[in-house]
Amino acid sequence: MSKRIKKDLPRYSDALTKKLKEWKKESGEDFAWKGESYEARMNVQETGWQQYKENQAAEKLHKKQQEKARYSGVGAVKALPGQKKKSMGVASKPLVDSRNRENSMS
């Protein structure tokens, strides 16, 4: 969301809420849009937005915890940028083993 919206939206919402209260005081009924109280509609939208932000924050935290757990094992090292990743396959066998050397000499 742009800085301007973050800055101005709460101010406009507060001004609109005051106008809606004035409307109710003067007319004796809620201002309705499509048969629904506009003030109630604003509250539902605000609640939905708060839930969305909380879900995004929880998802970001969960992802960060997963990433941290992934690299927290003993000997686990995260590759630096530009480095090749080490394969997770079977380690190669040594070319010469002391047991093999004795067998190959005989």
Q: What is the pLDDT of residues 27-65, one digit of tens each?
A: 999 999 899 999 999 999 999 989 999 999 999 999 988
3-state class (DSSP) for residue 21: helix
Torsion region of 59: left, alpha or beta (phi above 0 gives left; psi -120 to 50 gives alpha): alpha
Q: What pLDDT is attached to residue 66?
A: 86
What integer pLDDT is reported at residue 26 of this predicted model? 94
pLDDT value of residue 2: 81
30 close to 38: Cβ distance less than 8 angstroms: yes
Q: Which pLDDT value is given to residue 22?
A: 94
Number of domains within the chain: 1
Residue 12 lies in a domain: yes
> What's the predicted TM-score (pTM) here?
0.54
Domain contains 43: yes
Residue 90 covered by a domain? no
Q: Name the residue range of residue 42's domain.
A: 7-60
Res 97: pLDDT: 55
Q: In 1-106, at which residue ranges do the beta strands (DSSP E only) sit?
A: 32-33, 36-37
Domain presence at residue 71: no
Q: What is the mean pLDDT of residues 85-103?
A: 55
Say if residue 20 is exposed, middle or buried (CB neighbours under 10 Å; 0-12, 13-18, 19+).
middle
Q: What is the pLDDT of residues 69-81, one digit of tens each?
A: 777 765 555 666 7
pLDDT for 84: 66
What are residue 102's phi and psi, to 5 degrees? -65, -40
What's the number of CA atoms in the CB half-sphere (13 Å) around residue 91? 3
User: Residue 67 above 60 pLDDT?
Assistant: yes
